[in-house]
Amino acid sequence: MPTLAERLKDAVRQLESISETPRLDAEILLAHALGYSRAQLLARLRDEMLVSDFEPLLTRRLNHEPIAYITGHWEFFSLEFLVRPPVLVPRPETEHLVETALKFLSHGTTETSTVLDIGTGTGCVAVAIAKNAVKAHVTAIDIRPEALELARENARKHAVEIDFYEGDLFEAFRGIPKTFDVIVSNPPYVEEGEWERLSPVIRKHEDPGALLAGPDGLTVIRRIVSASSEYLHAGGLIALEIGERQSPAVAALMADAGFADIRFVRDLAGIDRIARGIKQHNYVE
């Protein structure tokens, strides 16, 4: 019977052709099959053990399925989130969106601040903000009912109160007067022509509707920016995750919509990843 170390070595060899992190993938999947933490797995590599549940997990990964879909959970902002296909898997760069919102909220008053997360998906951004800004009243919207159900589960998991609405962007508030201190969103921003160049992990398993946004990738961002002014208090913050090379166009959109103090937050790769602006007090459309 093979040891866990030998089984791990064989899995790494198979995964090298489809993953940039074959060792990490193999460790996560083998630990998951055993019901261990990674630390427990690494402490028992000399154990001889037949792990029948591991092969189906490995086969799924070899078909480019995201690890998060296989295990059913993923870490974001030091919190564990439930994940189900085809809802978008939380990305590390999206943590900058949470950081941008929390930084703005930390300079506010002692009064409760209101935050809107557009296109909440798993609810990772909304939950992370609610968990770390305890005085914030967080609202989240998504067009997909299955995403909202997952986000509700994650809110319950982390014991945070979030108001959820179903609808297409601000249409979720039709007939409901709503204004916020902060609006955040990780919207679709991939150009349609880029789809075939994306990783098979994305193309084969994740929802294109959560990623693609027209020929220039700005279709949804335009809609959010143009309408946000109506839903933001004067002096309020808008913060959006954007794609590489989109910062000039997004800056122009924000300026045209009456936002000031427009800045960009770079991710760890040095890419302008978060666009943020402040609604001017005296702006009138």
What are the residue ranges spanned by the domains of the chain? 4-63, 86-279
Distance CA 30, CA 37 (A): 10
Which of 62, 59, 57, 63 has the alpha carbon at shortest distance from 28? 57
Strands 259-266 and 136-142: unpaired
Residue 76: both structure tokens together = 């974001």
Do residues 187 and 224 touch, judged by C-beta distance below 8 A? yes
Q: What is the pLDDT of residue 285?
A: 45
Per-residue pLDDT of the chain (285 residues; tens, 9 = 90+): 899 999 999 999 999 999 999 999 999 999 999 999 999 999 999 999 888 899 999 999 999 999 999 999 999 999 999 999 999 999 999 999 999 999 999 986 557 899 999 999 999 999 999 999 989 999 999 999 999 999 999 999 999 999 999 999 999 998 888 899 999 999 999 999 888 888 888 899 988 888 999 999 999 999 999 999 899 999 999 999 999 999 999 999 999 999 999 999 999 999 999 999 999 876 444
**Residue 74: helix, strand or coil by DSSP?**
strand
Alpha helices in 54-198 (DSSP H): 54-62, 67-71, 95-106, 124-132, 145-157
Query: d(Cα 146, Cα 85) in Å, to the nearest integer?
Result: 10
The dihedral formed by the CA atoms of 36, 130, 138 and 153, expressed in degrees to the nearest 10:
20
CB-count burial class (<10 Å; 0-12, 13-18, 19+) for 173? middle
For residue 112, the model assigns a pLDDT of 82
Cβ atoms < 10 Å from Cβ of 46: 9
CATH superfamily for domain 86-279: Vaccinia Virus protein VP39 (3.40.50.150)
Check the CA dihedral 233-262-89-174 and report its sign.
Answer: positive
Sign of CA dihedral 105, 106, 107, 110: positive
Cross-strand bridge partners of residue 80? 75
Helices and strands: H and E segment counts in the chain: 11, 9
Contacts 24+ apart (CB under 8 A), 212-217: 212/188, 213/187, 213/188, 213/189, 215/191, 216/191, 216/249, 217/188, 217/189, 217/190, 217/191, 217/192, 217/243, 217/246
DSSP-derived secondary structure letter, 190:
B
- One of 3.40.50.720, 1.10.8.10, 2.60.120.200, 3.40.50.2000 is the CATH number of 4-63, namely 1.10.8.10
Per-residue exposure over 71-95, b if at least 16 CB sit within 10 Å of its own CB, e if not: eebbebbebebbbebebbbbbebbb
